[in-house]
Amino acid sequence: MALQLKRVLWLLTISVMWPWFAANAGPQPFDLQLFVPPVIADSQAPIVCTVIYLIADIANNDLFAARMRIAPREADTPVHNRLPCPASVPLRVALQGLDVCTSRAADAKSCVFADMSRGFDREPNIANTSQIESRCSSDTFSDIAGACWMSGKLSVCAVACGQSPEEAVSRARERCQEKHRQSCPVTVTVPVSGP
Amino acid sequence: MGPRRTAILLLLAASQACAQPAAVPPAAPNPPPAPVAAKGTPAAQTKRIFLPPPLQWDNAMLTFRPALQQTPSDFANLTGGIAFGMSAPAVNAHLPDPYPGLGWNGLPLANEYPGEVRYFGVPITLAGPLRIGLAACAGTASYVVFLFSERGLFRLSYRLIADKTCTDTNQAAQEIFYRYLPIGQTVARSMRYRSGKTEVVDITDSAAGYLIPPRWRQDIN
């Protein structure tokens, strides 16, 4: 009788505890809710070198900003939180910048560097542009700008760098007006390191 | 299917020479007011700048790669789900007002391409998400063409035609081009050019190989 009572009590205990046992006996759910934490940008991290070129498609007056990020050397140390850029940038980097236009234009010859020489309106070709003056580096400047005037349907531009969008635009306009002896009301600016 | 859609499909089928649907007159938004400059004192204007994805170079600047990892889903996010490689009926099904019974054999040939390339088009006003919220006027006769090889969709081609209500479609072409440009060349190749009076923006599958170079020419029609 006592044995039977024990069995009854045991069965009662099991039945009461059943949901708890069942929860542990079954297979674990596949969704373990192991959420991947969001990637948090380190706002204190130094700015990696970016060299930016302004490129113009003179067939439709489009302006491209070609951004080239350059990996730092191990020994590089940031100055004012900006990693240094190489002292000289090979021509192949500039030509790759030009490619953002040539690969998207109907005629590759319509793609030129956006800093144009005086007389570009009469001879609009790449020989009358400067790849060096069409670029800015993130170790020394935060913004690049272009300022242009319209020679008929052709946009003729100059490029400058600055420590703010306003400064870059002002310098580009000044350079354009000085070089081309024209008022240069059409402007554009973009951060060197990009969004 | 409305009478305008029927008309454009019939005219598409009738024009075998090139991927150019006939014009239909859907309503177009009014063009934004152009900046006016006083005589002799040009008004200050801000120009649009195009920002393709950056390239990442090694420190010696000998090799480079795209700085951003992009996939076809980045492209599909822009197009409301339309992706390269889709069949013509699948693309059609993604349109807000699909053509009934559209199939491969019923599509006209685009003869400017080598091999068998077929197409259909829709007025840009009926292109749903592909209209990408255009703010500039696009011209009432403007349209989007979908070009297919036997492997599926390989090109979207926007053809923006100026008319009396929209005398310059350059702004609209710039808007469309601007929208697709952040997609890197490893996924889609964006191209912008003018042919005759038409502004063209082509968005092509990077894997399309020999089908990438041909461009639409208005003058051969």
- Domain ranges for chain B: 65-220
In this prediction, residue A43 carries a pLDDT of 62
Is the confidence at residue B175, as pLDDT, over 90? yes
pLDDT at A20 over 60: no
Q: What's the mean per-residue pLDDT of chain A?
A: 85
- Condensed to tens digits (0 to 9), the pLDDT of residues A98-133 reads 999 999 998 999 999 999 999 999 999 999 999 999
Write the secondary structure of A125-184 as one string of H (helix), E (strand) and C (coil).
CHHHECCCCCEEECCCCCEEEEEEEEECCEEEEEEEEECCHHHHHHHHHHHHHHHHCCCC
- Higher per-residue pLDDT: B30 or B108: B108
A65 to chain B, closest Cα gap in Å: 5
pLDDT at B220 over 70: no
What are the beta bridge partners of residue A129?
A: A116
Rounded average pLDDT over A54-81: 93
DSSP-assigned beta bridge partners for residue A149: A156
The average pLDDT across B14-19 equals 46
B64 and A68: CB-CB below 8 Å? Answer: yes
**What are the tens digits of pLDDT across the range B110-157?**
988 999 999 999 999 989 889 888 899 998 999 999 999 999 999 999
CA nearest to B48 within chain A = A188
A37 to chain B, closest Cα gap in Å: 19
A90 neighbourhood in chain B, CB within 8 Å: 61
pLDDT at A35: 53
Amino acid A139: pLDDT:
95
The larger pLDDT score, comparing residue B133 to residue B162, is at: B162
Q: Which residues of B touch A (CB under 8 A)?
A: 37, 41-52, 54-59, 61, 64, 67, 170, 173-174, 177, 181, 185, 189-194, 215
Q: State how far the Cα of A11 lies from the Cα of A15, in Å rounded to an integer.
A: 6
Confidence label for B28 from pLDDT (cuts 50, 70 and 90): very low
Stretch (H or E) spanning A101: helix A91-102
Q: What is the pLDDT of residue B62?
A: 96
- The mean pLDDT of A19-45, rounded to a whole number, is 53
At residue A8, the pLDDT reads 61
Distance CA B153, CA B37 (A): 45
What pLDDT is recorded for position B32? 36
Q: Does residue B216 surpass a pLDDT of 90?
A: no
User: pLDDT tens digits, residue range A129-188?
Assistant: 999 999 999 999 999 999 999 999 999 999 999 999 999 999 999 999 999 999 999 999
Query: How much is the average pLDDT of B4-24?
Result: 47
- In this predicted structure, the answer to whether residue B29 has a pLDDT above a threshold of 50 is no
Where residue B178 falls among pLDDT bands split at 50, 70, 90? very high
CB distance B194–A149 less than 8 Å? no
Q: What is the pLDDT of residue B21?
A: 52
The better pLDDT of the pair A36, B97 is held by B97
Mean of the per-residue pLDDT values for chain B?
A: 82
CA distance B25 to B13: 18
In this structure, are residues A57 and A101 in contact, taking their beta carbons and an 8 Å threshold?
yes
Which one of A39, A60, A96 makes the best mutation probe of the B interface by having the most chain B beta carbons within 10 Å? Answer: A60
Whether ipTM > 0.85 holds is no
Percentage of chain B beyond pLDDT 90 is 60
Tokens 């490689």 identify what position?
B85
Burial string for B142-157 (b: 16+ CB within 10 Å, else e) reads bbbbbbbbeeebbbbb
Is pLDDT of B33 > 50? no
B194 contacts in chain A (CB < 8 Å): 59-60, 106
pTM of the prediction?
Answer: 0.79
| Structure token digits, residue B153 | 């969709």
> Buried b vs exposed e over B23-39: b needs ≥16 C-beta within 10 Å?
bbebebeebeeeeeeee
pLDDT at B212 over 80: yes
| Dihedral-angle region of residue A157 (phi above 0 means left; psi in -120 to 50 means alpha; beta otherwise) | beta
Alpha carbon dihedral A90, A91, A97, A98, in 10-degree steps, equals 180
Q: Do residues A195 and A177 touch, judged by C-beta distance below 8 A?
A: no
What is the H or E stretch that residue B122 is in?
Answer: strand B118-123
* pLDDT tens per residue across span B37-48: 334 445 678 889
A177, amino acid identity: Q
